[in-house]
């Protein structure tokens, strides 16, 4: 059985600034091959939650499972990897080139704390699914307050 790499972390090293990301998105709409960084792209993702779990689904068609990594902390998930470019046809004139290749990285902040010991992943039909168990909330107990007795 093959596994997707999962690493546990307290901090994520770099988070791309919103301004840099917005500028890149504007220019990428003009030229799909434009990138401020070394050939990056952002796969679309969904996050939803049930009573017990938070589920992340990422559309990463064409990415080899060996090129995917998931890093988690109790508050966030970082999904990153690489999609290799398919060979271009020699002598062909491309009229549209929207498929993005290269590295990708997404950091998703979670709506609830998760149990980092209870995580699973699966990859099928171009979709990566990360299933995270929510951390159980501790039950509060009432403790009676007694009077101090004088000796």
Over the stretch 111-127, which tens digit does the pLDDT of each residue have?
A: 999 999 999 999 999 99
In a domain, 148, yes or no: no
Query: Which residue is associated with the tokens 């109790």?
Result: 74
Half-sphere exposure of 146 (CA within 13 A, CB side): 3
The verdict on residue 12 lying in a domain is: yes
At 27-84, the pLDDT tens digits run 656 665 555 555 688 999 999 999 999 999 999 999 999 999 999 998 899 999 999 9
**Is residue 145 situated within a structural domain?**
no
Residue 43 in any domain: the answer is: yes
SS3 25: helix
Whichever domain contains 118, its CATH number is 2.60.40.790
Q: What is the pLDDT of residues 54-66, one digit of tens each?
A: 999 999 999 999 9
Q: How many domains does the chain have?
A: 1
Distance in angstroms (rounded) separating the CA atoms of residues 6 and 128: 13
* pTM over 0.75, yes/no: no
Distance CA 41, CA 146 (A): 62
In which domain, by residue range, is 108 found? 5-87+94-134
DSSP state of 66: G
Question: Among 115, 144, 119, 140, which residue's Cα sits nearest to residue 129?
Answer: 119
């Amino acid at each position: 059985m093959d596994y997707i790499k999962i690493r546990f972390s307290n901090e994520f090293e770099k988070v791309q600034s919103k301004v840099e990301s917005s500028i890149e998105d504007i220019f990428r709409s003009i030229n799909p091959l434009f990138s401020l960084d070394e050939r990056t792209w952002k796969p679309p993702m969904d996050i939803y939650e049930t009573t017990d779990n938070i589920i992340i689904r990422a559309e990463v068609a064409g990415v080899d499972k060996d090129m995917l990594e998931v890093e988690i902390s109790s508050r966030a998930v970082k999904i990153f990897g690489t999609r290799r470019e398919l060979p271009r046809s020699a002598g062909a004139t491309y009229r549209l080139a929207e498929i993005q290749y290269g590295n990708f990285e997404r950091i998703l902040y979670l709506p609830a704390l998760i149990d980092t010991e209870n995580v699973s992943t699966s990859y099928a039909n171009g979709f990566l699914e990360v299933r995270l168990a929510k951390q159980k909330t501790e039950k509060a107990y009432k403790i009676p307050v007694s009077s101090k007795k004088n000796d």
